[in-house]
Chain A
Amino acid sequence: DSGVTQTPKHLITATGQRVTLRCSPRSGDLSVYWYQQSLDQGLQFLIQYYNGEERAKGNILERFSAQQFPDLHSELNLSSLELGDSALYFCASSASATDTQYFGPGTRLTVL
């Protein structure tokens, strides 16, 4: 158990819909990262927050957004969903940007 929790574990929705994925970091970790993992694209870094502020952006689509709240939990919002958005979405947390990242179990999103 990494100490990072993600909800929900599975999500099935239709194209065009909007979903929110939630992540609670390990106690004391200020950095939160979001990743997308799919068979064709592999592991893709989406976005990083540090203590509530956006710190780095990766291959995140404009239809996707994220935020980190004062209690340090984070949410990833995916809108206008497409079939290609079906993937595993991982959240990770770390004490600082270059410390070990601890990964959650992931949310499996299926877009039908």
Chain B
Amino acid sequence: AQSVTQLDSQVPVFEEAPVELRCNYSSSVSVYLFWYVQYPNQGLQLLLKYLSGSTLVESINGFEAEFNKSQTSFHLRKPSVHISDTAEYFCAGGGYQKVTFGTGTKLQVIP
């Protein structure tokens, strides 16, 4: 069965420090992986996605995630966070006909 695990429910980090939000997936079928972000009082929006090809995917606001098949991971990273990155981040994985969301990681950027 398809499952997505986000290992940290909350991650506090100082502004301009690097951050990694962890995500592991399990699947026995073709894998599509997504990171969504939810800013306060808003709906979720796509941050980046992996469908195939290069295992490193990047977003327009400096985040990147690497698909690691051997470790079944799709961790999200940013080398230097800003206050505006404070949000909840959801990892999601898709197999045939279905997408499963993780439980979310709240990123708190401390000034």
Contacts and interface: CB of A to CB of B under 8 A. Distances in A.
A105 B42 contact: yes
Interface residues of B, number: 21
Q: Which DSSP category, helix, strand, loop or mixed, fits chain B's interface?
A: strand
Given A105-B42, A105-B43, A106-B43, A43 B97 contact: no
A11 interface: no
Interface in B30-51: 32, 34, 36, 42-46, 49
Interface of A: 2, 4, 35, 42-43, 45, 48, 55-56, 90, 92, 97-98, 100-106
Given A43-B101, A98-B94, A106-B43, 13 more contacts: A4-B43, A43-B103, A45-B101, A55-B97, A56-B97, A92-B44, A97-B94, A97-B96, A98-B99, A100-B34, A101-B36, A103-B45, A105-B42
Interface of B: 32, 34, 36, 42-46, 49, 90, 92, 94-101, 103-104
Q: Which 8 A-B pairs have the closest CB atoms?
A: A103-B43, A98-B94, A97-B97, A103-B44, A98-B32, A100-B46, A42-B103, A56-B98
28 contacts: A2-B43, A4-B43, A35-B101, A42-B103, A43-B90, A48-B98, A55-B97, A55-B98, A56-B97, A56-B98, A90-B43, A97-B94, A97-B96, A97-B97, A98-B95, A98-B97, A98-B99, A100-B46, A100-B49, A101-B36, A101-B44, A101-B99, A102-B46, A103-B36, A103-B43, A103-B44, A104-B43, A105-B42
